Amino acid sequence: MDAEPRASSSVGAPARVFSGIMPTGTLHLGNYLGAIVHWVRLQQVHPSLFSVVDLHAITTPIDPSLLREKIREVAALLLACGIDPDLATVFVQSDVPAHAELCWILNCLAPVGRLERMVQFKEKAGQQRENENVGLFDYPVLQAADILLYCGQPPRPVLVPVGADQRQHLELARDLARRFDLRFGPVFAEPIAAVAETGARIMGLENPLKKMSKSGSNPGDVIALLDPPDAVRRKIKRAVTGPGREVRFDQSQPGLFNLLTIYQLLSGQSRAEIESHFAGKGYAALKSELAELIGAVLTPIQDRYHDVRSNPDYLAEVLTDGAERARRESSVVLEAAKRAVGLG
């Protein structure tokens, strides 16, 4: 894969890799290419933890029984995509109370003005005026707690592989680590965002000016990881390309550029190879080959997903074991943070 997530600063080996995913909506190709494929690779190299962040999910209105189902769906999909519980810790955020505890401590340092400027808060609060709640406002501080809990003692940076939309949240986590350490001594290290050069922002298929999103209102914009091949074909066929015929990586045609980026990431071919392969062939050929390629990647993921779901005891065991490991690893940092502020 040539989409190497690049750390925003270079330091020695990170303490751990940590990332999270919300159990809302349907996991899609953007989550896969922007985040999960990098997690699968990084788990081979560093101690890693991946969390289904259900406390973040309840900041938006979600039916309790649906949430319970989504938590399992997302955890099973992570395993199906290649997260290996023998290599990485997979856990549900609310099973590890340290996340909410550290969040409270960080709340007492987080500037309200800074949180008010968070793009994702402004977007989401705008979409759900009647449900504008404190949890939604505090969302990035909980995210900072998620990450900083795994810096170990003495602290070392946590590497956080995410899509481009999480950059601002990572900046806040860095800032909170700095503020805490300045005031109370060295408990945290600034985490490092790892954002891939290619694929960090996969766009909607019908509206390529908006990112592909779990909560988007148009299902035609999104390839879900559980979409069957005929749905993939239909959606790719309807995807916007723009005028012209030539299949080229042309930034001025965001729809075409997005389809080609997906093709590049899934095929592992270079841009030059892809352009020469499609020379003189036109958009219909690109769409039909892309739909086949996506199907070839998703089918084995879906098969593994159904295997995992057919064995609920196995999934429960993975999550119980993951929660125990996460509780153990996070307790070291939580205790250090509490001691530093004079608690406990």
Note if 281 is an active site residue: no
Between 31 and 89, CB nearer to ligand TYM: 31
- Sole window of 20-28, 261-269, 282-290, 301-309 interacting with ligand TYM (rule: CB under 6 A): 20-28
Could you give the strand order of the β-sheet that contains 88-92, starting from the edge strand earlier in sequence?
A: 5-7, 192-196, 158-161, 16-21, 48-52, 88-92
By C-beta, is 41 or 201 nearer to ligand TYM?
Answer: 201
Interface positions, 252-311, toward ligand TYM (CB under 6 A): none
Task: Give the residue with the Cβ less far from ligand TYM, 89 or 143.
Answer: 143
Number of residues that bind ligand TYM (CB under 6 A): 25
Our measurement of the distance from residue 315's CA atom to the centroid of its chain's CA atoms, rounded to an integer in Å, reads: 20
| Alpha carbon distance, N-terminus to C-terminus of the chain | 47
Of 199 and 295, which has the nearer Cβ to ligand TYM? 199
Q: Which residues contact 136 (CB under 8 A, 6 or more apart)?
A: 59, 60, 121, 124, 125, 128
Binding of ligand TYM at residue 3 (CB under 6 A)? no
Strand pairing class (158-161; 48-52) = unpaired
Our answer to whether residue 214 is catalytic in this structure is yes
Kindly state whether residue 48 participates in binding ligand TYM, applying the rule CB under 6 A: no
Shortest distance, position 77 Cβ to ligand TYM, whole Å: 11
Structure tokens at 80: 């199906």
Among residues 314, 334, 333, 310, which one has the least CA distance to residue 322? 314
At a CB cut-off of 8 Å and minimum separation 6, what does 199 contact? Answer: 3, 33, 34, 261, 262, 265
Catalytic residue among 70, 211, 235, 287: 211
**Binds ligand TYM (CB under 6 A): choice among 143, 241, 261, 330:** 143
CA atoms within 13 A on the CB side of 73: 16
21 binds ligand TYM (CB under 6 A): yes
Q: State the minimum distance, in angstroms, from the CB of residue 43 to ligand TYM.
A: 15
Taking CB under 6 A as the criterion, the residue among 26, 60, 166, 264 binding ligand TYM is 166
Nearest CA among 120, 149, 130 for reference residue 61 = 130
Does 200 engage in binding with ligand TYM (CB under 6 A)? yes
**Does residue 165 bind ligand TYM (CB under 6 A)?**
yes
Type of residue found at 62:
I
Write out the residues near ligand TYM by the rule CB under 6 A: 18-22, 30-31, 34-35, 53, 56, 143, 146-147, 160, 162-163, 165-166, 169, 200-202, 211-212
